[in-house]
Amino acid sequence: MKKSLIGTLLITSTLAALTTTLFFSERAQSRDSDFSFFSKSSYRGVMPVKNASYQEECSSCHMAYSPGLLPSKSWQKVMNNLADHYGDNAELLPETQQTILNYLLTNSAEKSKYYRSKEIARSLRNNNSIDRITLSPYFIRKHDEIPKKFVIDNPKVGSFSQCNLCHTRAEQGSFNEDEISIPGVGFWED
């Protein structure tokens, strides 16, 4: 009986300590964290790219952006203008283009279960056909405190469209503020 009581107390104490640690953990409660024990979903960032054709074709010139960074109308607009893709000809074989478009539309911001994607879609309610991630109100709000000299005037970065140069885990779908390291500047402190 005594051993049973001690075992029960030990298990109860351990569970209480673990629960308290998780509850008060800054990371567990942070809206800017890409994981949360207490959110409705543990899908906090954006979905990492999971399509080989898209990864191969798009990452040959730039980071293959998560489909959850734009709504479907925006992806449709981007994919319909590949002959002049921001100054470059990025035309694809029709079947490859359709495969990539289907992937982007199926996983676009408004269809995503990921928190940041939902926030992006919500920010674009009135204008969901932008053709640049950097034009979304969500993006603008999240980057408004970063001086131009750290990004645009920084030869190691050059543009806000180079997500993976500063967001160290962007390709894994994480845009956590604690993981920002601006080349030539260092870790970003908000």
What are the boundaries of each domain within the chain? Answer: 43-187
What's the pLDDT score for residue 8?
A: 72
pLDDT tens digits, one per residue of 21-63: 544 443 444 444 444 444 444 678 999 999 999 999 999 889 9
Long-range contacts of 78-87 (CB under 8 A, 24+ apart): 78/131, 79/104, 81/131
What's the pLDDT score for residue 32?
A: 46
Per-residue confidence band for 1, with pLDDT thresholds at 50, 70 and 90: low
Say whether pLDDT at 16 is over 80.
Answer: no
User: What is the H or E stretch that residue 8 is in?
Assistant: helix 2-24
What's the pLDDT score for residue 14?
A: 67
Residues sharing a CB contact under 8 Å with residue 41, sequence separation 6 or more, in sequence order = 113, 114, 115
What's the pLDDT score for residue 42?
A: 60
Query: Which comes out higher in pLDDT, residue 185 or 37?
Result: 185
Lowest-confidence segment of 37-41, 102-106, 175-179 by average pLDDT? 37-41
Lowest-confidence segment of 3-7, 166-170, 180-184 by average pLDDT? 3-7
Q: Of 164, 183, 44, 66, whose CA–CA distance to 116 is shortest?
A: 44
Q: What is the mean pLDDT of the chain?
A: 85
What's the pLDDT score for residue 33?
A: 46
What gap in Å lies between CA 2 and CA 46, rounded to an integer?
51
pLDDT tens digits, one per residue of 76-88: 999 999 999 999 9
Q: Is 182 helix (H, G, I), strand (E, B) or coil?
A: strand
What's the pLDDT score for residue 19?
A: 54
Say whether pLDDT at 167 is over 60.
Answer: yes
What's the pLDDT score for residue 7?
A: 63
What's the pLDDT score for residue 9?
A: 63
pLDDT tens digits, one per residue of 111-125: 999 999 999 999 998
Could you tell me the pTM of the whole model?
0.77
Bridge partners, 88 (sequence order): 85
Q: Is 187 helix (H, G, I), strand (E, B) or coil?
A: strand
The terminus-to-terminus CA distance of the chain in angstroms comes to 55
